[in-house]
Amino acid sequence: MSQPDRDAFPLSPEDRLKLENQLCFPLYAAAKEVVRRYTPLLDELGLTYTQYLTMMVLWEKGTVSVSELGADLYLDSGTLTPLLKKMEAKGLVTRRRSSNDERRVEVRITDAGRALRDRAVDVPVEMGNCMKLEADEAVHLASLLRGLIANVREAGDGQPAAGGASEQA
């Protein structure tokens, strides 16, 4: 661990380890609550939260490599492989080795996966209503969080944490 700049940290040593003074805890709690709220909406679609995120990438791009998908979702191959196997068993995606590069596995959305998009289109609206943020507040918060992610990754090795998401595929 590198030596921290204690002068730049505004809290006294006594206050530094109080839960109420941590940024990590409201981020953690908010993420848990958001995923908890997504769960019943996604249950209707037969998706987990991580599968939903995967489908959003595929609805946008159609075909991606497993490594590109992992980079987009901050997931490693150990998390993606079982996730994609389950999605393939549901008929939502196919996985094939690239004809140009045998090392590259491509994930393609199926017709059933594309059709699921029509049923999912109101999920972001439901979540927006639940969060009760104005549009400009949501855009600003997302921008702040993307900056935070970039800063934290830059301070580390630039790679997603081992294990990816904690949710089961």
- Judge whether 84 lies within some domain: yes
Residue pair 107/100 in contact by the 8 Å Cβ criterion: no
- Judge whether 163 lies within some domain: no
Residue pair 62/152 in contact by the 8 Å Cβ criterion: no
Q: Residue 27 and residue 77: Cα distance in Å, rounded?
A: 25
Strands (E), 14-119: 63-65, 93-97, 105-109
155 CB-side CA count, 13 A: 10
pLDDT at 160: 58
Token readout for 63 is: 């075909």
- Judge whether 13 lies within some domain: no
- Judge whether 6 lies within some domain: no
Residue 165 has pLDDT above 70, yes or no: no
State the DSSP string of 27-38: HHHHHHHHHHHH
158 CB-side CA count, 13 A: 0
Q: Residue 38 and residue 49: Cα distance in Å, rounded?
A: 7
- Judge whether 2 lies within some domain: no
**What's the domain range around 127?**
18-138
Categorize the per-residue pLDDT at 161 as very low, low, confident or very high, splitting at 50, 70 and 90: low
pLDDT at 99: 81
- Judge whether 156 lies within some domain: no
- Judge whether 148 lies within some domain: no
Q: How many domains does the chain have?
A: 1
Question: For 11-24, how does the pLDDT look when each residue is reduced to its tens digit (9 = 90+)?
Answer: 888 898 999 999 99
Task: Please report, as a single letter, which amino acid is at residue 50.
Answer: T
- Judge whether 34 lies within some domain: yes
What DSSP state is assigned to residue 21?
A: G
Once rounded to an integer, what is the mean pLDDT over residues 86-95?
Answer: 98
Categorize the per-residue pLDDT at 159 as very low, low, confident or very high, splitting at 50, 70 and 90: low
List CB contacts of 122: < 8 A, sequence separation 6 or more: none
Categorize the per-residue pLDDT at 168 as very low, low, confident or very high, splitting at 50, 70 and 90: very low
Sheet strands side by side (includes 105-109): 63-65, 105-109, 93-97
pLDDT at 167: 46
- Tokens 């679609």, located at residue: 45
Strands (E), the chain: 63-65, 93-97, 105-109
List CB contacts of 41: < 8 A, sequence separation 6 or more: 123, 126, 127
Supply the CATH number for residue 76's domain.
1.10.10.10
Question: For 27-86, how does the pLDDT look when each residue is reduced to its tens digit (9 = 90+)?
Answer: 999 999 999 999 999 999 999 999 999 999 999 999 999 999 999 999 998 999 999 999
